[in-house]
Structure formats: C-alpha cells, structure tokens
Amino acid sequence: MATPVMMPNVGITVESCILTTWHKKKGDAVKKGDVLFTYETDKSTLDEESPVDGIMLEQFFNEDDDVKVMTNVCVIGAEGESTAEFAPAKEGDEAPAPAAEEAPAAAPAAAPAAAAEVAAAPAAGAGEFVKASPRAKALAAKAGVDPRYAGATGPDGRVIERDVRTLIENGPSATPAAAGAFAGQAGTGMGGKFAVGDIGAAAPAAEAAAAPAAEYVDEKMPTIRKTIAKQMVSSLSTAAQLTHTLSFDATEIMAFRKKVKNAGEAMGLNNITLNDILLYAVSRVLSGEAHRALNAHLLNGDTMRYFTNVHLGIAVDTPKGLLVPTLHNANLKSLNDISAEAKKLAKTCQEGAATPDLLQGASFTITNLGSFGIESFTPVINTPQVAILGVGTITTRVREVNGEIKTYPAMSLSLTYDHRAVDGAPASRFMVDLKNALENFSILLSK
C-alpha cells in the first residue's frame, strides 16, 4: 500500500501552507528522509521529508499552491500502486480567510472548517458574529472600535451606522443581546440617544485611483507580510493604544556590559548584550505583582489573562520580515541563560527555520531599534498582549551635577500599552520601576 504525505499541521493557527518547491518529480525514486518538498507558512520555510522508501507516484499540487494542512500532497509507493484514494477532495472555493477575519483577533482561530461555518450560518449568541451593516463595519474599522459593543438599533438587531457613531462618542453602552431585543416592527420603544446630526456624515473613503501602469510594479505580498499587515491593522483598530516615553541613565549597564565583554568569556559567560540586559530587567520588573496588568492578555475585550511567569516576545528583523519568537519563563532564567536563548531564537528566525509554535505564547514584547539610531518610537502591540516596550538608541545628554554641567549616556524606552487594560499611572509606575532597575542594575542582579 502506498503512503500518502500530508501537508503537516505545523501550528495551531496555521490553516494552510504554500508549497514552494518540489524536490522530487513524479516517478523519481525516493529514500526515507529525502526532502520531498519545501513549504512555507505565514512565518517560516520548512522541508518535508519522505517517511518511506519508494517512488513518487503522484503529486496533487503544483509549486506555489496554497495547500490546507492535513491535506495529502503526494504519494510514495511501489510502481503501479493506486493513488486515487489519496487524492484530496475538491472542496470548491472554500474561503477560510474571510471567515477568519470575522473572528476577533483575540480569539484563537478555530479549525478552518468550523470558521467557515460560523461565517456561513452565524449562530445567535455565539458572541463572535457581529450583525452589522457594511457601512457600520466600515466606520468601525476606520474609527478603530469594535462594532460588537455598539448597541444595535437597526432592523432585526443589526448594528447600523448610527450605533457605531454612538459607540465612538459614548463608548460601549449596550450589550449586543440587549440591543438585539429591539425590533423595528414594534414601532416604539427605541432606547438610546438619536441625534440626527450623527447620521450620514461619514466621508466616503477616497477610492483608490489607478495610476498609469508603467510607473509602478504591483506585487503580491508574501504570506509573512500579509500576516504582519493583518496583525498590525487588527492591533491598531481593536486596542486603545498609547505610548509613554522616558530615558534612563545607561552608565551602569554600559559599565556592566563592558565588564562582561572583557572578562566574561573567561568565566564561561556569553557575550551579554545591552539587549540581553534589558530582557533580564524587564522580566524581573514585570514579574512583580505590581505590574501584572502589563504581563497579560486582554481577551474578547472583557477578560484579562494574567500570566504567572514572564514570556518575552523578542522582535527579530529577518530577511523575510518581522518575526517575534518567544523566550518563555524569562523571569526564571539567569542573565546568561537569557542571553544564550535570545541569540538562539534570533538565529533560528533569521534562518527561516522558526516553527509557528516558537512564535507564540508571549505575554509581553520587546522591540529594539536602538542599533539603527532610532531615538524614540511608538511600537505596535502584538495583541492580545497589552503592552510592548520599544528600546531606542543611546544618546549623550547633559545634566547639572553640583552646579556643573555633566554629560551622561541616556537610553530611551517607549511603552505602548492598551488603555483598555491598563491606565496611565500604573503604566508610568512600571516605566519608573524599570528605569530604577536599569540604573541600578548590579542591585537588581543581586536580588
């Protein structure tokens, strides 16, 4: 009996992979362990090896096909064996992508089939399907509000434009269920405020005008780019983000780093970088009970998930785009271990070998643009996390010490946080605590 080879299920959020390269042709002899094909998820490129010896009997897909996971891609077997029984069922134009878009960003994506069902037949009270007019949805997306929190006053419990306007002005005012109770045919009893001036004022979005073809090139974005794009827009349109910036005196950490650089190797230490030091400091400050609201996820806009340990997402610039591998349980690891693991994660990502699971589970993210000389920026939260710390470059600043103007190296930190989850004061207190920890790094190390 021939052996089918499936597109592996490489991560819980991966629905399909692009088959990028065939390494064997139909009819080729294949040894167990030979690479059959290379495929690409939204975040990584991986090889699939043959599980058995045999002949490549059939290939069901071409290069560049988008193949759903757990679908047979090819069949290995002995000459003449039947392959038809392994042919993937034609499912027509199933469109899991739009269905997935219906689901709020915070919710873990369900299996594709289930997601499609949700889109096709919205179950009342499922809490994920929002019955809103296209116009209301468009306005909500533009204003960055979640139409599910608009009290529906349209016919049949539909969220209409005016409801989103009310939401924008007054914040969430009605549960979807309560709003849904309104039925137009009753003809009376519509609650809420109705201001005529609120209606119909939205300026239509400017339509994209087609430019002369010769002046540009249109290219489809690679999967990873599309994923980033989707994540960014989702983040900005669903979370209430704002950024606090401060700088700290980097004299001590620079001195420490110098010390490690000069003598660390001899003591069996890694080449600990300033970034490693920041990771360490953040993991320690964040693990304190006082800042648990920043080491958290905000789910469905109404549930906080506080993490016991600190799982740091580390933004890594790779040739393919931004990847954020996770350094788990950072608060339990030594500086040296953190340093080693961070380097390993970065390397894996840069080689394009990160598995999707490597890229999940962070409770807080750090992104460092200091090496580019960026002084300060506004990072975008990797939702459902509630905060992200941006690290800027070190600049020389002056200050008065005992009547004298003295210079010192100042490093900037920018914290973007979700105001839905955290208020300004606790966010600021976290920044101050972090500043103190870094300015007194040796004391922190001694804790």
Partner 1 sequence: MPKSMYVKPEEKFAKRTITFQDIPVCEYDKTVKDEKANFTKEEFLGMYADMVAIREFETMLQSIKLQGEYNGKKFTYPGPSHLAIGEEATAVGQAFTLGVDDFIFGTHRSHHEVIAKGLSAIAKLSDEELVKIMEGFNGGKNYEIIKKHTTGKTTKEVARDFFMYGITCELFAKDNGFSRGLGGSMHAFFLPFGIFPNNAIVGGSAPIATGVALYKKCNKKPGIVVANAGDGAAARGPVYESMNFAAMDQYNELWEDGYKGGLPIIFNFNNNHYGMGGQTKGETMAYGDLARLGCIAQNQMNAERINGWNPLAVIDAYKRKRKLLEEGKGPVLLDVVTYRLSGHSTSDAMSYRTKEEVDDWASHDPLTVFPQQIIDAKVATKKEVEAVRDAVIDRNHRMFELASDLEISPYTDYNEHPDHIESLMFSNGDVPKMDDRECEVRQPKEENERVKKIARSQRYAFDENGKPYSKAKVYNIRDGLFEAIMDKYYEDPTLVAYGEDVRDWNGAFAVYRGLTEALPYHRLFNAPIAESAIVGSAVGYAMAGGRVIAELMYADFIVCSGDEVFNQMAKWQAMSAGGLKMPLVLRVPVGFKYGAQHSQDWTGLCAHVPGLKVVYPVTPYDAKGLMNTALKGTDPVCFFESQQLYDKGEEFVKEGVPEGYYEVPFGEPAVRTEGKDVTILTIGATLYTALEAEKMLREQYGITAEVIDARSVVPFNYEKVIESVKKTGRIVLASDAVTRGNILNDMAQNITNLAFDYLDAPPVVVGSQNWITPAAEYKEQFYPQASWILDAIHERILPIPGYVAKHSFTNEEMLRKAKKGV
Is 297:385 a contact under the CB 8 Å cutoff? yes
Provide, rounded to whole angstroms, the least separation between the CB of residue 119 and partner 1: 16
Does 262 participate in binding partner 1 (rule CB under 8 A)? no
> Residues 6 or more apart from 99 whose CB is under 8 A from it?
112, 115, 116, 118, 119, 120
Does 209 participate in binding partner 1 (rule CB under 8 A)? no
Stretch that binds partner 1, among 194-202, 219-227, 320-328, 401-409 (CB under 8 A): 194-202
Provide, rounded to whole angstroms, the least separation between the CB of residue 115 and partner 1: 22
Note the helical H segments in 144-194.
Answer: 161-170, 176-180
**Binding-site member from 113, 190, 236, 255 for partner 1 (CB under 8 A):** 190
Does 131 participate in binding partner 1 (rule CB under 8 A)? no
First to last CA, the chain: 62
Whether the bond into 384 is cis, omega within 30 of 0? yes
**Binding-site member from 92, 171, 187, 319 for partner 1 (CB under 8 A):** 187
**Binding-site member from 33, 184, 361, 373 for partner 1 (CB under 8 A):** 184
Stretch that binds partner 1, among 181-189, 216-224, 253-261, 303-311 (CB under 8 A): 181-189
Is 322:316 a contact under the CB 8 Å cutoff? yes
Provide, rounded to whole angstroms, the least separation between the CB of residue 133 and partner 1: 4
Work out the burial of residue 362: count CB atoms within 10 Å of its CB; fewer than 13 is exposed, 13-18 middle, 19 or more buried: buried
What sign for the dihedral angle of Cα 122, 123, 127, 131? positive
Does 151 participate in binding partner 1 (rule CB under 8 A)? no
> Residues 6 or more apart from 429 whose CB is under 8 A from it?
290, 291
**Binding-site member from 182, 248, 307, 417 for partner 1 (CB under 8 A):** 182
Is 131:141 a contact under the CB 8 Å cutoff? no
Distance CA 19, CA 352 (A): 15
Q: Around Cβ 236, how many Cβ atoms within 10 Å?
A: 13
**Binding-site member from 84, 93, 185, 215 for partner 1 (CB under 8 A):** 185
- Residue whose CB is less far from partner 1, 233 or 374: 233
Distance CA 355, CA 371 (A): 26
Does 435 participate in binding partner 1 (rule CB under 8 A)? no
**Binding-site member from 161, 276, 341, 418 for partner 1 (CB under 8 A):** 161
**Binding-site member from 30, 67, 140, 160 for partner 1 (CB under 8 A):** 160
Binding site for partner 1 (CB under 8 A): 133-138, 153-156, 158, 160-162, 182, 184-185, 187-188, 190, 194, 196, 199-202, 204
